[in-house]
Amino acid sequence: MRTVRKLFYGGAASALLLATSIAQADVTVLGWPGGPEETALRAATEIYNARSEVAEDDKVKLIFFSRDGFFDKLQADLAAGTDAFDANLLATYSIGRYAPYMTPVSLSGDAADVFGESVLKTMQFDGKQYGVPTDLSLHFLYYRTDLIEELLADESAAAKYGDISEKHLGVRLEPKSPDDWTWQDFAANALYFSKSVNPDSPTRYGTVLQLKNLLFNIMVFHSLPRSYGADWMDADGNITVDSDAYREALKMYKILVEAGATPKDSFSYEYAEANSAFGSGQVAAMIQWNAAAADLTDTEKTPVTADVTKTIAPPTGPDGRFTHVHGLGLGVNANGKNPDGAKAFIEWLSTEDAAKAYALAGGATGLTSSVVSDIANERPDLVPLGEYASNYGFVMNGGTSAKALSVYELQAKEFTDYLSGGKSLDEALSATKDGMADLLN
């Protein structure tokens, strides 16, 4: 009986505590569930709620739901005019879908100095700021230092390297340090380290291309055409996907596929498969998401290559060095119950202190070099992230529109059709152009 009474009082106390906390928390924020993003948001929220200037009515409560179909569920909720949350997650490529149900936000005065313009751009649509950037995804070039050192030290290897590049790429190239690579050097290196081209290669493949018909794989591809000047649309809204830049990039991928410089089953490869290939020690270099760096440089998780794996920004092209960048962030639901409270929270998140706190708690925040230097000891991985995002990050013109995801889907289908031999380059680009015109105009 005593136990039952104890349980009753305990339960009542917990319920009261929960009810009190709910009553106090009048800004409800829907975050990205699981992983470091949730941990970081929880930590930042705790700091925000503890601030004396935050009114009781503006304290923040977090809610999460499953990642499965997150963006579709969010869209259905927002379209239905939900007031279940005041602020919600945003992603660069889906801002346009949500913009009709969201309110533009004002960030703190020093937001540009904290994040940099290119990072802020990941949360903009139609020239308006819809959210504060919290986490970034971009691309690194992953390469094997042991292979490169050996190649650079061997003169006979350099001659062979030149022969191979001349034969396949039409230009005689010399081995270089990856930091000086153009995309042609990347391709030449991939060919040299492929057994199908160079039977003496220590690796089976020179690179691993993620060619599954999947929108995220097209994001990985985009850094290449962009460095040749590619964009989705020009300033007048004309679709420019059939440009020379896209043609050059697709042809380069095709050369690598046909020469056997990427695994045979690359058309079923995405993030995980590419990591497995690289981690097996049979691939010399690859372009991959920054998220893979932690695993690929961890000797326990990737024992074969972690010690000799290094990351830098993707290679350069005639128009410069670029990396696709997209971000996660938080914006304000126009139908929320407390939009002012939500705006205040988002404005605070864009301050230097809040951004640092978020990053220290595990977030992958893109910070400018002056800000990230303060936390470089604790988060050394954020140094290149912010630097690459600021210096090389880009978002295609139309990349945050309502149909951006469908454009990626379309390109994934048409480009893989060309690369796998189903269509000619002209056919694939023409179909992509027509489809993009329907989606973006």
Partner 1 sequence: MTRSTENRILATPLVLFLLVMLGFPTILDIIYSFSEVSFENLRSPTFNGGRNYISILNDPEFWSASWFSMKFGLATAFAECILGLVLAVYLAPIIRKNTWMIAVLIMPMMIAPAMMGLMYRLLLHEFVGALPHYMFYWLGDSPAFLSRENVFTTVFTIETLQWTPFAFLLFFMAYEAIPGEMREAAAVDGARGLRMFWHIEMPMMLPTIAVAFFVRFIDGFRVFDNIFVLTGAGAGGATTSLSIYIYLSFFRSGEIGNAIAASVILFCVSFLALFFAGRLLRRSGA
By the criterion CB under 8 A, which residues form the site for partner 1?
69, 72, 75-76, 79-80, 97, 100, 211-214, 263-265, 267-268, 273, 276-277, 279-280, 282, 405-406, 409, 413-414, 416-423
Is the Cβ of residue 379 or residue 403 nearer to partner 1 in the bound state?
A: 403
Is the Cβ of residue 74 or residue 389 nearer to partner 1 in the bound state?
A: 74
Q: Write down the least CB distance from residue 417 to partner 1, Å.
A: 3
Is the Cβ of residue 282 or residue 323 nearer to partner 1 in the bound state?
A: 282
Q: How far apart are CA 319 and CA 277, in angstroms?
A: 30
Short-list 268, 206, 219, CA closest to 94 = 219
Q: How many CB atoms lie within 10 A of CB 380?
A: 10
Q: Is residue 140 within 8 Å of 290, Cβ to Cβ?
A: yes
Q: Is residue 432 within 8 Å of 412, Cβ to Cβ?
A: no
Q: Which residue matches tokens 């499953």?
A: 66
Q: How many CB atoms lie within 10 A of CB 291?
A: 18
Q: Write down the least CB distance from residue 97 to partner 1, Å.
A: 8
Quick check: helix, strand or coil at residue 393? strand
Q: How far apart are CA 18 and CA 426, in angstroms?
A: 62
Q: Write down the least CB distance from residue 165 to partner 1, Å.
A: 25
Q: Write down the least CB distance from residue 187 to partner 1, Å.
A: 21
Is the Cβ of residue 348 or residue 418 nearer to partner 1 in the bound state?
A: 418
- In 170-252, DSSP assigns E strands to 205-207
Is the Cβ of residue 45 or residue 94 nearer to partner 1 in the bound state?
A: 94
Q: Write down the least CB distance from residue 390 to partner 1, Å.
A: 32
Signed CA dihedral, 218, 405, 95, 30: sign only = negative
Short-list 112, 84, 82, 121, CA closest to 98 = 82
Is the Cβ of residue 302 or residue 338 nearer to partner 1 in the bound state?
A: 302
Q: Write down the least CB distance from residue 214 to partner 1, Å.
A: 6
- Which token pair is 188? 């030449």
